[in-house]
Amino acid sequence: MTHSPSPPELRLENQICFAVYSAAHAFAQAYRPWLEPMGLTYPQYLVMLLLWERDGRSVNELAQPLQLDSGTLTPLLKRMEKAGFLTRSRDEKDERVTRIHLTDFGQSLMEQARRIPVAMLCQSGMDLNRLTELREQVQDLGKSLRQA
């Protein structure tokens, strides 16, 4: 049985979604050698970035920029708490809100993590301006798709 070739708009190599998916997978692989010695997975690293920026965020304040629902984020935070990176506690003013705080160990990893962005820039083979431009284009694309 022979199949006729698919039209160009249905070829995998022509799909922007696959290019972004493939790049995201490559990023996760590129980060692994840097994160494994710290005991972090890539999603955990993203949580740590937000907490290093501002400790004591609520679960919702983490979920929004990560674009995760609390049902996905809560198990991740529980694993991170068990590993000693952070603590979870109820907000003193509103017990419905869970606050996330870095432990001393979690805070101490920030110094190691400072090397990662430069390493990723070098590994990308792009200069900072081009990479910044690309990031902004991908962010705009995501925003457009979410608004559609």
Q: Of 119, 55, 64, 66, whose CA–CA distance to 89 is shortest?
A: 55
What is the tens place of the pLDDT at every residue in 12-31?
999 999 999 999 999 999 99
Query: How far apart (Å, rounded) are the C-alpha atoms in residues 65 and 125?
Result: 27
Which pLDDT band holds residue 5 (cuts at 50, 70, 90)?
Answer: confident
Q: Residue 48, exposed/middle/buried by CB under 10 A (0-12, 13-18, 19+)?
A: buried
Q: Of 17, 85, 82, 103, whose CA–CA distance to 46 is shortest?
A: 85
Mean pLDDT within 63-88: 95
Helix (H) or strand (E) holding 136: helix 128-147
What is the pairing mode between strands 98-102 and 86-90?
A: antiparallel
Query: How far apart (Å, rounded) are the C-alpha atoms in residues 52 and 77?
Result: 15
pTM of the model: 0.89
Look over the chain and give the mean of its residue pLDDT values, rounded to a whole number: 94
Alpha helices in 8-115 (DSSP H): 16-35, 42-53, 59-66, 70-82, 104-113
More confident residue, 92 or 101: 101
**Domains in the chain, ordered, with CATH?**
40-147 (1.10.10.10)
